Amino acid sequence: MSTLRYRLTCLLALLLLTSPAQAQWHRLPFQTMGTEAYVELWAEDDAKGQALLHGVQAEFERINQLMSPYISSSELSLLNREAAARPVTISSELYQLLQQAEQLAILSEGAFDISFASVGFSYDYRQQLRPSITELTEQRPLINYRHIQLLADNQVKFARPGVKIDLGGIAKGYAVEQAIGLLASAGIKHALITAGGDTRLLGDKRGRPWLVAIKHPRKTHDIVAQLPLTDSAISTSGDYERFFIEDGVRYHHILDPKSGQSPSGLMSVTVLGPDSTRADAMSTTLFVLGLQRGMVFIEQQSDFEAIFISSEHQLYFSSGLAQ
Ligand code: ADP
Ligand code: MG
């Protein structure tokens, strides 16, 4: 190699080593909380971007370990095992989420109710199992958010034996919101995090809005709309994610606390708003309330909008989106 070429090569290597890491998009799909999740972020520094992707994944897993009903060491499982017998002390993080769930239960007059699980745990959508009439009659009165007593010092007590809770209607949204908070405090300005039907956007997609699709509730690969959004949360609840059909009846994973059975008026509801925790819980709430009562409810929530798809395949928009 000539001396000149050798010198040029050395110079190039030096430049590569000392030039600042390239700003770029970083992406990571992963599995968490029984669903597909995805994070995409813009970072000025390559190593920082990669580290944050894994930070997001770890945050989901941390919350899963705390709140999953399938993990016997989770605080949620501990409550379901012991809170009927004695007050159980939990982390202030879970306690605060239970408070948020309670607020929405009160606001929705019990349409959102995490004690739905008192009946909900008798359904198994994979095995196509549902409670018998006798079980339903027995367990239905156990669904009542008032049975969940939030006591002083992060203690929780269930008023009756048999009461069970599950955070499937709010925990994913909460995790998405926490993970976005983590990115924001690390200085990230542009990011998208999605888990199942819950998506949260930080900033825009560098000069243009993010595009978030609303799935077609019956055609798996089709979408009904694509919304250009920045800095907001969007959550969809549908009757098509976990369900089975028996004798023409669709049994799906959202339950009306009043009946212990799946509501049938809607196929999906999408909620848009400023934060994922509430957007997630509110989409489940609106699904239970149905079109008429759901529309009245969402119109009363400033900052939140909704798109309903009825069982007749009709789209309905709340007033803030009507244009
Ligand atoms: P996904 O989990 O597919 O994102 P949702 O956000 O609509 O869908 O949440 C559905 C989950 O909410 C159910 O799987 C169940 O865990 C929980 N859930 C069902 N019915 C209720 C209810 N009435 N109140 C609160 N949570 C509910
Ligand atoms: Mg929801």
For residue 141 the two structure tokens come to 């009165």
Q: Three-state DSSP class for 13?
A: helix
CATH no. for residue 134? 1.10.3980.10
* Nearest CA among 193, 171, 188, 230 for reference residue 57: 193
Residue 131 shares a structural domain with residue 55: no
Residue 130 shares a structural domain with residue 252: no
Ligand 1 centre to CA of 188 (Å) is: 30
pLDDT value of residue 21: 64
Ligand 1 centre to CA of 173 (Å) is: 11
Residue 60 shares a structural domain with residue 154: no
Question: For the purposes of burial, counting CB atoms within 10 Å of the CB of 95, is it exposed (0-12), middle (13-18) or buried (19 or more)?
Answer: middle
For residue 76 the two structure tokens come to 């949620």
Residue 221 shares a structural domain with residue 321: yes
Q: Counting ligands in written order, which one lies closest to the CA of residue 164?
A: 1
Mean pLDDT of 203-217: 97
In a domain? residue 10: no
In a domain? residue 237: yes
Q: Is the CB of 44 under 6 A from ligand 1?
A: no
Q: Is the CB of 255 under 6 A from ligand 1?
A: yes
Instruction: Supply the range of the domain harboring residue 113.
Output: 75-158
Residue 97 shares a structural domain with residue 176: no
Q: 309 pLDDT band (50/70/90 cuts)?
A: very high
pLDDT tens digits along 104-125: 999 999 999 999 999 999 999 9
Name the residue with the closest Cα to ligand 1, atom 12: 169
- 259-264 long-range contacts (CB < 8 A, ≥24 apart) are 259/140, 260/116, 260/119, 260/131, 260/136, 260/139, 260/140, 260/143, 261/136, 263/287, 263/288, 263/290, 264/239, 264/311
Location of structure tokens 């909008």: 305
Q: Three-state DSSP class for 176?
A: helix
Backbone angles phi, psi at 179, to 5 degrees: -65, -35
- The DSSP code for 124 is B
Work out whether the CA dihedral 64, 114, 157, 82 comes out positive or negative. Answer: negative
81 has pLDDT over 70: yes
Q: Work out which ligand 1 atom sits closest to the CA atom of 197.
A: 4
Mean pLDDT of 291-313: 97
Buried b / exposed e over 217-231, threshold 16 CB at 10 Å, is: beeeeeebeebebee
pLDDT value of residue 265: 95
Q: Three-state DSSP class for 240?
A: coil
Q: Counting ligands in written order, which one lies closest to the CA of residue 35?
A: 1
Residue 53 shares a structural domain with residue 178: yes
pLDDT tens digits along 220-237: 999 999 999 999 999 999
Residue 284, annotated as binding a ligand: yes
Q: Domains in the chain: how many in total?
A: 3
pLDDT tens digits along 141-183: 999 999 999 999 999 999 999 999 999 999 999 999 999 999 9
CATH no. for residue 257? 3.10.520.10
For residue 163 the two structure tokens come to 């009461």
In a domain? residue 39: yes
Ligand 2 centre to CA of 86 (Å) is: 30
In a domain? residue 11: no
Residue 89 shares a structural domain with residue 115: yes
In a domain? residue 244: yes
Residue 227 shares a structural domain with residue 314: yes
Residue 104 shares a structural domain with residue 176: no
pLDDT value of residue 308: 98
In a domain? residue 16: no
Residue 320 shares a structural domain with residue 241: yes
* Nearest CA among 212, 195, 192 for reference residue 270: 212
Residue in 140, 254, 271 to alter for ligand 1 test, most ligand atoms within 8 A of Cβ: 254
Residue 63 shares a structural domain with residue 191: yes
pLDDT value of residue 7: 52
Residue 280, annotated as binding a ligand: yes
Q: Is the CB of 288 under 6 A from ligand 1?
A: yes
pLDDT tens digits along 4-33: 455 544 444 444 444 456 789 999 999 999
Residue 142 shares a structural domain with residue 268: no
